[in-house]
Amino acid sequence: MALALTQKTGTNDFDQIHFEHMSLPKYDFNDINLESCYFNRQFKYPFYINAMTGGTQKTKEANEKLAKLAKHYGLAMAVGSQKIALENKSVQDTFSVIHDIYPDGFFIGNLSANATYEDVLKASQMIHAQAFQIHLNPVQELAMQEGDRNFKHWKNNIALIAKEIKIPLIVKEVGFGMNEKTIASLINLGVSNIDVSGNGGTNFAKIENARVNRNDGFLEGFGISTVKSLKYSQKYQEKANFIASGGIRSALDIVKSLVLGACAVGLSKFFLETIQLAWDEQIKKVDELISDIKKVMILLNVNNIKDLRNVQYFD
């Protein structure tokens, strides 16, 4: 968590996406409706708190703060990998605390593609999950000295989970993006919610290298941007729902993601930085994000999220 906070987010492919604004807007600020439908649920906003953390007392405190924000805004919230809590019951409360804070919350469980369907059921019960993420992180695992080295069983695991699970299943990358072949394979496995999670934000290969004082940049250059991943997804958007995450820096990046075809945007670092502030400042920061999304939509002559799909962009 600390290493993620220290990484600086600079330019990325979102800077290559441009809009032409309308100098005669046809909507007032109060006409803009941000309601969005994803994970088979209607939400007030097109963004949610994406997977981050859990497993220690410090991360328990972070999850408490994140759940409090989720409750205040009615946001969906994903937790970090629950593997540690399946292996060690003493840290389960670092995840389940979110349900204590927000009993009516829409929570998203999280495990790697190594997980069995039984693991998914246990992790879901732990936080009363209403959706579940399976994360794909081969670059991170291979950068990690103690990481996984066996991957060919992942497809079978995902296919079985997709077949058996009774709540929405999301398969997501962890900041390295997805190419078209990956997207097509996931759809063929029965996955209908895909978080492309491209590069341009937190680099987990860089984090793993920093953990072991490796400074040769091994695997840090791998990755497909969120923008490019969303472009790959466009021919499949009638077959699956796509979520954008990775390198999302602002309201403008959120709108660009939605124009490129995302049904929702998952934010991790934004909320991780936000909970470092006092509560009043947290509210101010999220309110500003919401306001900024509406301002961009006014300039595009769009008053609802669905119609953003029809906005022309240039790159």
Is the pLDDT reported for residue 26 higher than 70? yes
Inform me whether the pLDDT recorded for 37 exceeds 80: yes
Question: How far apart, in whole angstroms, are the C-alpha atoms of residue 164 and residue 270?
Answer: 33
Give yes or no for residue 6 having a pLDDT over 60: no
Average pLDDT over residues 104-110: 98
Contacts 24+ apart (CB under 8 A), 145-150: 145/208, 145/212, 147/208, 148/112, 148/114
Element (H, E) at 243: strand 241-244
Mean pLDDT, rounded, for 176-204: 95
φ, ψ dihedrals at 18, nearest 5° = -130, 150
pLDDT at 204: 81
Q: State the binding site for Mg(2+).
A: 141
* Six-digit token string for 134: 């399976």
**Cα separation, 227 vs 248, whole angstroms:** 10
State the Cα–Cα distance between residues 33 and 297, nearest whole angstrom. Answer: 10
Q: Would you state the pLDDT for residue 266?
A: 98
The yes-or-no verdict on residue 201 having pLDDT over 90 is no
Annotation: binding site: 51-53, 81-83, 110, 140-141, 172, 197, 202, 247-249, 268-269
Which domains are assigned to the chain? 1-314 (3.20.20.70)
Mean pLDDT of 42-47: 98
> What are 246-300's pLDDT values in tens digits?
999 999 999 999 999 999 999 999 999 999 999 999 999 999 999 999 999 999 9
Residue 281, H or E segment: helix 279-299
Residue 39 is classified by DSSP as T
Residues of 76-85 as b/e, b for ≥16 C-beta within 10 angstroms? bbbbbbbbbb
- Write down the pLDDT at residue 3: 47
Please enumerate, by residue number, every residue annotated as part of a binding site for FMN.
Answer: 51-53, 81, 110, 172, 197, 202, 247-249, 268-269
Q: What's the rounded Cα separation, in Å, for the pair 51 and 240?
A: 20
Report residue 299 as tokens.
């300039």
Tell me: the pLDDT tens digits for 119-153?
999 999 999 999 999 999 999 999 998 989 999 99
pTM recorded for the entire structure: 0.94
Binding residues for substrate: 81-83, 140
Determine contact, residues 95/54, Cβ cutoff 8 Å: yes
